[in-house]
Amino acid sequence: EYMSLEKLINRVVMKLELTMKEKDQKVNIYIKKDLKDIYADKDAIEQVIINILSNAIKYTPENGIINIILNSKDNNNEIIIEDDGIGIPKEDINRIFDRFYRVDKARSRDLGGTGLGLSIAKRIVESHNGQINIESEYEKGTKVIITLPIK
Ligand code: ATP
Ligand code: MG
C-alpha cells in the first residue's frame, strides 16, 4: 500500500523511545519537506526500521546521538540511520549481512541477539527492489543507508 515514511519512523521511534531514554541517547529526525509516499509492505518496512534502529541503540553507548534522515531522490526515498557508537571493524563489514554473523563474540555477548536482524532487513529491502548499505568506522560510528523505490 502507499505509506508515509515519516509516520512510520515516528511510530518506530515511539516504540523504542524508552530504551533510548534509559541510555540517555538522543534521536534527531530530519525530514525533507516534500517527501513522497512509497508503495511498500508497511509491516515489513517497519520491521526493517526496527532492526536498524535497535542496532543503533544497542551498539551506541550512553549519551550517544542517533540521526534519522529521510530524503526523496529522483524515484527513490532514502532512509539514513546513523549513530556515534562502537562502529564496525573494516574486516567485518562484508559479513554483517550474513545470517547469524556477529562482530567479535566477546563484545556482542553481553548485548544479546542472534545475528539475524541485518540479514532480515536486507532480504525485505531487496524484495522491494531497494538497497541497503553500511558505512562504518570502528569506535566512531555507523551509518546505514536504505534506498527504496517510490513505486
Ligand atoms: P539481532 O539483530 O538478531 O538481535 P544482532 O544485532 O547481533 O542480533 P544484526 O542486527 O544482524 O545482529 O547485526 C550483526 C552484527 O553487526 C552485530 O552483532 C554487530 O556486531 C554489528 N552491528 C550492526 N549494527 C551495528 C551498529 N549500528 N553499530 C555497530 N555494530 C553494529
Ligand atoms: Mg540487530
Task: For residue 34, report the distance from its CA to the centre of ligand 2, in Å.
Answer: 31
Residue 133, all three cell numbers: 548499505
- Give CA–CA dist 131/106, Å, rounded: 30
- Give CA–CA dist 77/103, Å, rounded: 29
Per-residue pLDDT of the chain (151 residues; tens, 9 = 90+): 999 999 999 999 999 999 999 999 999 999 998 999 999 999 999 999 999 999 999 999 999 999 999 999 999 999 999 999 999 999 999 999 999 999 976 676 678 889 999 999 999 999 999 999 999 999 999 999 999 999 8
Task: For residue 84, report the distance from its CA to the centre of ligand 1, in Å.
Answer: 14
Q: Which ligand is nearest to the CA of 112?
A: 1
Residue 107's region, left for phi above 0, alpha for psi from -120 to 50, else beta, is alpha
Nearest to 20 by CA among 51, 47, 58: 58
pTM of structure: 0.96
Does the Cβ of 88 fall within 6 Å of ligand 1? yes
**Number of residues assigned to the chain:** 151
Task: For residue 5, report the distance from its CA to the centre of ligand 1, in Å.
Answer: 23
